[in-house]
Chain A
Amino acid sequence: MKTTDELLRIRDLHTGFRIKDTYFDAVDGVSLSLRKNEILAIVGESGCGKSTLATSVIGLLDRNKTRIQGEILYKNKNLASMTEDELNEIRGLDISMIFQDPLSALNPLMRIGDQIEESLIYHTDLTKEQRRERVIELLNQVGIRNPERVARQFPHQLSGGMRQRVIIAIAISCKPQIIIADEPTTALDVTIQAQILDLLIDLQNETGAGIILITHDLGVVAEVADRVAVMYAGEIIEEAPVEELFNNPKHPYTRSLFNSIPQMNEENARLNVIEGIVPSLINLPREGCRFSSRISWIPEEAHEDNPTLHEVSPGHFVRCTCWKHFHFKSDIGGSHHVYAD
């Protein structure tokens, strides 16, 4: 790993939420690094902790109800231990975020131009005229056709795709080093999704920023990501470069997920169902392989007592040893028709 390219390093991060005076870790010992000019995708199903990880990095969690332990190192400073004021100096300038629902992320009573200008006022010394120019330039950059007009409009007058473009314009307004995109295209139609993803890649190529892309959509990951981390129950269970992960998935969870996609090329095949349900935060097993209860046909000896990430090939990490002994339940015949609860 070239440390010169490294923008962000997360070391053993634990983010816990308080439930009845006990803290339960939704992110449980995550270590990651983000490099320059890279799109790092974090995938997983709802409740796996991927959004909590993102909001921990940018410090948007309520400090009275959460506990963040570990290190989030950016330019040798630990974001996890910063005060709100210190974070405000970094948020928007060095690290910015793109949200899932553009309508609720925009102020409905403020004109588009003013909303983009806000972070310029806070972080730069530009004069009013210069800021106006920059707003138009940004709107142009995100592919909005008549920027002068849009700058005077309100969010409700724009379509979903246009609103997401505005959100992106706000996010890139101060040329941040790191962009965190939390499900940026989930609320959009496929054609708009393709345009927004292309836009993100183009902007990245221009600015060289590192992007953390949080998503549940493996198709989106395959289209844009450079490196992928798969999360399950608060932990990273597999991490690899994108080609490696899609062509050579190892962990049982990753393989199960791939098999439950209604593949674009196999018709009428039965989709794989993962037994059981994602455990809730309180019931999360904190010891042993967290996925073991959902692959009950794999013998216990296959799992490690304290599963750690193992490097199976350069850059490809897999948690636990159960992948070596994993096979799909249907492979030994029989029990397809059991519906798991």
Chain B
Amino acid sequence: MFMQINNLKVHYPVRGGFFNRVIDHVHAVDGITMEFEKGKAYGLVGESGCGKSTTGKSIIGLEKITSGKIIYEGEDVTNKRRDRKSAYNRDIQMIFQDSHSAMNPRKRVQDILAEPIRNFLKLSPQEERRRINELLAIVGMPEDSRLKYPHEFSGGQKQRLGIARAIATNPKIIIADEPVSALDLSVQAQVLNFMKDIQNEYGLTYLFISHDLGVVKHMCDHISIMYKGRFVETGSTGEIFGNPQHIYTKRLLSAIPEVSPNGREERKRERLNVETHYQKEHSKSFDEKGRVFDLVPISNSHFVAASPTSKEVI
């Protein structure tokens, strides 16, 4: 096993009352477990506010973890996530949704790309220059863009610069938080193709966070569906799309518009069907507090949240 996340929890305190004491907690991420294999792409899907971005940020160390463990190459790195000397910090990088606001507008491209290099690799100025040119070549940008500023690029180009920065230190895992949701269709295609290419070439592992099931299906080998900070279902892409078990997954799948007008009346009927089913079965699929049940295996790779009392899967 390459990397493992065990029972990860991120709770935020809610303050209030007379002394501004902690009166409650928001369970943003509430006990999720994931296993990563090298060179595979993992999708994390859910609606806004389900905790998918928090999960990504806490794995890379941008968010404090309340409890749980991250094990990377056999070593517990939970408390070393922000330690510059640890290999983990170098091996894991992130691509952000809005590459424009993720880059310092007053820095030139060469300084933006040099930042991770200067942090983690001890290179001479000449080597650094060479590495930057190499990175620009990998993402298909001309060499003269190194002297430009972020605002001089289009959205797709900026996203490619964001990717160049993420791969500067030869990472092994990349967390991509909605990397294409701000892009137009044809530019999105360009970035997705490119992400696949570098994955094949460098054996990268992706954690692909998105609300767009079409994109996730295209990119990922394994998908986890998240709701209220917990997984409702996790399995291979084929299992999730071909054999969805949890009512929440079914509801999400039925809501995706299909790119064909043929049979749309039927799809609408099906969607309303699933919706009434969802409203009716809600109490059976979630416990009294509305929390998602623990996962129960239904095959080697396919897990579904199910009530411990019900024998058969919902």
Contacts and interface: CB of A to CB of B under 8 A. Distances in A.
Contacts of A337: 197
Given A257-B186, A261-B214, A277-B154, A339 B259 contact: no
A202 B25 CA distance: 40
B45 to A, nearest CB: 10
A222 B258 contact: yes
A189 B178 CA distance: 14
B190 A340 contact: yes
B69 interface: no
A185 to B, nearest CB: 9
A262 B261 contact: no
A280 to B, nearest CB: 10
A160 B49 CA distance: 12
Interface residue SS majority, chain B: helix
A258 B259 CA distance: 9
A247 B262 contact: yes
Given A260-B185, A340-B190, A222 B251 contact: no
Nearest to A257: B185
B259 to A, nearest CB: 5
Given A264-B214, A339-B140, A243 B259 contact: no
Contact of A46 (B184, B218, B257): B184
Contacts of B3: none
Nearest to A160: B48
B141 A341 contact: yes
A222 B265 CA distance: 11
Given A257-B186, A273-B186, A341-B157, A223 B258 contact: yes
A271 B192 contact: yes
Interface residues of B, number: 44
Given A190-B211, A273-B193, A341-B157, A260 B252 contact: no
Interface string B189-214: 11011101100000000000001011
How big is chain A's contact interface, by range? 35 or more
B214 A262 contact: yes
B237 A190 contact: no
B264 interface: yes
B259 A264 contact: yes
Contact of B140 (A220, A263, A271, A341): A341
Contact of B186 (A193, A224, A260, A267): A260
A219 B256 contact: yes
A222 B237 contact: no
Contact of A223 (B184, B215, B237, B264): B264
B185 A223 contact: no
Interface in A181-215: 189-191, 193-194, 197-198
A246 B260 contact: yes
Contact of B185 (A216, A242, A270, A340): A216
B255 A246 contact: no
Contacts of B140: 339, 341
Contacts of B258: 219, 222-223, 264
B47 interface: yes
Q: Which of B140, B190, B192, B194 has the most CB of A within 10 A?
A: B190
Given A194-B271, A216-B184, A189 B259 contact: no
Interface of B: 47-48, 139-142, 154, 156-157, 184-186, 188-190, 192-194, 196-197, 211, 213-215, 217-219, 237, 251-252, 254-262, 264, 267-268, 271-272
20 contacts: A190-B211, A193-B257, A197-B257, A216-B185, A219-B258, A220-B257, A222-B259, A223-B264, A224-B264, A242-B261, A246-B260, A247-B260, A261-B189, A262-B189, A264-B259, A268-B218, A270-B196, A272-B186, A278-B184, A341-B142
Give the top 5 A-B pairs by smallest Cβ distance, nearest first. A219-B257, A339-B140, A262-B218, A260-B189, A271-B189
